[in-house]
Amino acid sequence: MASDGSRLRALLDLVLFSLAGALPAAAFFIAALFPGYSSLSVGDAGAVLIVAPIGVGALLGALLGDYDLRYAAFAAIGTTVFASILIAVFIYSPILAGVAQATPAADPSTVLEVYVAQRVMLFAVLAFPILLLGAILGSAIAGRIIPSDELRKELERLRAETREWHELLERTAKAQQGKTEEGVGEKEKRREGIDGEKDGRKIPP
Using CA of residue 151, residue 136, residue 85, residue 90, what is the dihedral sign? positive
Tens of pLDDT along 52-83?
A: 889 898 888 888 877 778 888 899 999 999 99
Q: What is the mean pLDDT of residues 6-32?
A: 87
Same structural domain, 156 and 203: yes
Same structural domain, 139 and 60: yes
Cβ-contact 33, 16 below 8 angstroms? no
Same structural domain, 97 and 163: no
Taking residue 125's Cβ as centre, other Cβ atoms within 10 Å add up to: 10
Total residues found in the chain within this entry: 205
Distance CA 56, CA 25 (A): 7
Identify the domain containing residue 125 by its residue range.
Answer: 2-146
Same structural domain, 93 and 13: yes
Taking residue 37's Cβ as centre, other Cβ atoms within 10 Å add up to: 12
Same structural domain, 79 and 42: yes
Q: What is the mean pLDDT of residues 159-165?
A: 85
| Predicted TM-score (pTM) of this structure | 0.63
Give the torsion through C-alpha atoms of 159, 165, 170, 175, to 10 deg.
Answer: 160
Last residue of a domain, one of 108, 127, 146: 146
DSSP state of 98: T
Distance CA 105, CA 18 (A): 36
**CA angle, corner 29, sides to 24 and 32, nearest 5?**
125
Distance CA 46, CA 20 (A): 23
Same structural domain, 83 and 113: yes
* Whether the predicted pLDDT of 148 surpasses 70: no
Same structural domain, 154 and 100: no
**CA angle, corner 42, sides to 41 and 43, nearest 5?**
130
- pLDDT computed for residue 1 by the predictor: 47
Burial of 123 (0-12, 13-18, 19+ CB in 10 A): buried
Which has more pLDDT, 117 or 179?
117
- pLDDT computed for residue 34 by the predictor: 78
* Whether the predicted pLDDT of 29 surpasses 70: yes
Which has more pLDDT, 39 or 2?
39
Same structural domain, 131 and 80: yes
For the chain, the domain total comes to 2
- pLDDT computed for residue 203 by the predictor: 46
- pLDDT computed for residue 154 by the predictor: 76
Same structural domain, 121 and 26: yes
Same structural domain, 70 and 121: yes
Distance CA 7, CA 64 (A): 13
Same structural domain, 141 and 154: no
* Whether the predicted pLDDT of 177 surpasses 80: no
- pLDDT computed for residue 81 by the predictor: 92
Last residue of a domain, one of 146, 172, 190: 146
Same structural domain, 118 and 182: no
* Whether the predicted pLDDT of 129 surpasses 50: yes
Longest dimension (CA), the chain: 146
